């Protein structure tokens, strides 16, 4: 189901922090959202940063899926994450930018999903090495039953000033030429790193004819335990969709 002008809208918090934070956020956005994004395990650079609520959040996801009749997607970074998520009836997953860089993990996860009717989204690798992205895509393409989408979340560049991650529209063009049949979802949150830049980046992405947007939304962004500068409030999210002509 696509609710907004044929664009797939994926929204939800960077990380699930508590049952209440998750429920309060989703209650305010599920009408405008095709699929909820949720972070159960967060791949943090520092071991001292908030890393998610792990398996506890899978129970809250299961409740939210039933309560609001919505589909939730989570990032899986290990085979263990995937096995647990499958136990909780989650069937939409994504491979994070750091994991796309690790062919061992991608191989392991893709083997487990071989005969499963699931949806898998593959984020671009954190570095502008398009071959890593292609390698991950090919590993899931071999699984005929998996539905694949790509997520454009930008690329790390040492001297990036304006953006947290560079969009590198040129690389997006190459990947689209390579896989014209696979939908591309644009993730402005991790490119911007800053909520003020989300609107102009989305506008540009829509001009480039991406198939959807994945946006981080939190009921109290300033108090978020991860990515607080880039998350939108539910009201800002709705205003964004209106400004983009998607609502």
Binding residues (CB under 5 A) for Mn ion: these are 14, 227
The two structure tokens encoding residue 190: 């991790």
The DSSP call for residue 124 is: P
Residue placing its CB nearer to ligand PEP in the complex, 44 or 111:
44
Asked if residue 14 binds ligand PEP (CB under 6 A), the reply is yes
Asked if residue 225 binds ligand PEP (CB under 6 A), the reply is no
Q: Which does 123 bind (CB under 5 to 8 A by kind): ligand PEP, Mn ion, none?
A: ligand PEP
Q: How far apart are CA 131 and CA 159, in angstroms?
A: 22
CB of 14 to ligand PEP, least distance (A): 5
Residue placing its CB nearer to ligand PEP in the complex, 36 or 69:
36
Asked if residue 153 binds ligand PEP (CB under 6 A), the reply is yes
What's the full length of the chain, in residues? 247
CB of 86 to ligand PEP, least distance (A): 20
Q: Which does 130 bind (CB under 5 to 8 A by kind): ligand PEP, Mn ion, none?
A: none
Residue placing its CB nearer to ligand PEP in the complex, 121 or 145:
121
- Return contacts of 228-236, CB within 8 angstroms, 24+ apart: 229/193, 229/194, 229/195, 230/14, 230/164, 230/189, 230/190, 230/192, 230/193, 230/194, 230/195, 230/198, 231/13, 231/14, 231/189, 231/195, 232/195, 232/198, 234/25, 234/28, 234/29, 236/195
The H or E element spanning position 132 is helix 130-141
Asked if residue 39 binds ligand PEP (CB under 6 A), the reply is yes
Asked if residue 77 binds ligand PEP (CB under 6 A), the reply is no
Asked if residue 212 binds ligand PEP (CB under 6 A), the reply is no
Q: What are phi and psi of 8, to 5 degrees?
A: -80, 125
Q: What are phi and psi of 172, to 5 degrees?
A: -65, -40
CB of 128 to ligand PEP, least distance (A): 14
Residues that bind ligand PEP (CB under 6 A): 14, 39, 43, 75, 96-97, 123, 153, 190
């Amino acid at each position: 189901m696509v609710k907004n002008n044929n664009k797939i809208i994926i929204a939800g918090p960077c990380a699930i922090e508590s049952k209440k934070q998750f429920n309060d956020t989703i209650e305010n956005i599920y009408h405008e959202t095709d699929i909820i994004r949720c972070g159960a395990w967060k791949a943090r650079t520092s071991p001292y940063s908030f890393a998610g609520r792990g398996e506890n959040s899978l129970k809250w996801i299961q409740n939210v899926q039933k309560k609001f009749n919505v589909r939730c997607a989570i990032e899986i970074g290990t085979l263990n994450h995937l096995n647990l998520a499958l136990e909780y009836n989650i069937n939409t997953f994504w491979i994070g930018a750091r994991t796309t860089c690790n062919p061992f993990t991608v191989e392991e996860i893709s083997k487990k999903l071989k005969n499963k009717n699931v949806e898998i989204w593959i984020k671009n690798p954190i570095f502008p090495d398009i071959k890593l992205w292609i390698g991950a895509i090919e590993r899931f393409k071999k699984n005929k039953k998996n539905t694949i989408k790509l997520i454009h979340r930008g690329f790390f560049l040492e001297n990036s000033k304006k953006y947290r991650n560079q969009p590198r529209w040129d690389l997006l063009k190459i990947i689209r030429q390579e896989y014209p049949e696979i939908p591309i979802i644009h993730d402005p949150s991790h490119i911007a790193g800053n909520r003020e830049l989300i609107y102009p980046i989305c506008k540009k992405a829509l001009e480039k004819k991406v198939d959807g947007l994945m946006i981080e939304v939190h009921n109290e962004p300033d108090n978020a335990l991860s990515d607080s500068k880039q998350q939108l409030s539910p009201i800002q999210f709705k205003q964004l969709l209106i400004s983009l002509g998607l609502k």
